Amino acid sequence: MAKTRDISKLVQGHRAELSILSIRVSDLRQLDQSERAWAAENLLFRAAVEWEVLSSQWLLASLNKNNKVLRSHVTKEVLAAIRKRFPTLLDSEGISVRFEHANHFNLALVASLMDPQGRNEGFWQSEHLKTNRHLIPKSLLDRITSFNENDWRTLAVVQHGRNVIAHRSDQSIRRMNEALRDCGHSNSAKLRRLVPGTRSINAGNWGNFLQAVPSGSKWSRLQIVIDSLDRVVSRLDPHS
């Protein structure tokens, strides 16, 4: 797990992985039709995993950047829990909290505090961020709040597309189609090319849909999604 000072390096590392996936998208044309569909799904799934891992690691590293504020927050939560558990046994004014990591929390400890179930929660789904936005330095929080509608549309396609590949459930397919059709409202010509035609996309034709090149485009839909995701990821770099 990256150190606090390496947030920029963390982002750059995941952008490098997306670049590798982008190159492999170009190689799909060397495969036959059935292999291209399977490979396209595999590449999208890997891109989605890259995003999930990055967003979780970025959140934890950002929280740890504001270490003094985080320690104060955790101290208050610990004291509140003690008072609730032992309301009459202990004098709340005499309680103090001493941390094993006296000077600075490490990322493993931050992860155990903010994501105790180990779910790799990213900032868009983290209840801790929704209720404790003040724990993240403003300069980093601004990176998230600067996301525009096209960024969120891209993330929705990536997330729901990954769920279709993983689960093949009716709900995941419905949500994926909703995400794709929402791209029709985008001011980005590239994202609008992700909108399916009159037929909805299903689990059986998802891979073919991804690897196909839509009318008026030089790039496959998968290439469009990965390029769009890379632009979203770049927004998280504090040095960009």
Q: Do 41 and 136 have their domain in common? A: no
Q: Do 157 and 58 have their domain in common? A: yes
Buried b (16+ CB within 10 A) or exposed e, 68-87: eebbebbeeeeeeeeeeeee
Q: 90 in a domain, yes or no?
A: yes
* CA dist., res. 59 & res. 140, Å (int): 9
* CA dist., res. 111 & res. 212, Å (int): 40
Domain-ending residue, one of 145, 174, 206: 145
Q: 239 in a domain, yes or no?
A: no
Q: 222 in a domain, yes or no?
A: yes
Q: 111 in a domain, yes or no?
A: yes
Q: Do 90 and 157 have their domain in common? A: no
Q: Do 79 and 111 have their domain in common? A: yes
Confidence check: pLDDT of 104 > 90: no
Q: Do 33 and 92 have their domain in common? A: no
Confidence check: pLDDT of 43 > 70: yes
Q: Do 170 and 100 have their domain in common? A: no
Helix, strand, coil in percent for the chain, rounding step 5: 70, 0, 30
Domain-ending residue, one of 87, 118, 145: 145
Number of domains observed in the structure of the chain = 2
- The identity of residue 79, as a single letter, is L
Domain-ending residue, one of 86, 113, 145: 145
* CA dist., res. 164 & res. 180, Å (int): 13
Confidence check: pLDDT of 94 > 70: no
Q: Do 152 and 56 have their domain in common? A: yes
Give the model's pLDDT for residue 1. Answer: 42
Residues 6+ apart with CB under 8 A from 156: 179, 182
- The identity of residue 70, as a single letter, is L
Angle in degrees, CA 152, 153, 157, rounded to 5: 115
Q: Do 20 and 120 have their domain in common? A: no
Q: Do 166 and 227 have their domain in common? A: yes
Q: Do 21 and 72 have their domain in common? A: no
Confidence check: pLDDT of 45 > 90: yes
Confidence check: pLDDT of 120 > 90: no
Q: 240 in a domain, yes or no?
A: no
pLDDT in tens, 1-10: 444 458 999 9
Among 4-13, 18-27, 42-51, where is mean pLDDT lowest?
4-13
Q: Do 68 and 55 have their domain in common? A: no
More confident residue, 52 or 126: 52
What three-state secondary structure class fits 66?
coil
Q: Do 204 and 107 have their domain in common? A: no
What is the Cα Rg of the chain in Å? Answer: 21
The boundaries of the domain holding residue 108 are 64-145
Q: 103 in a domain, yes or no?
A: yes
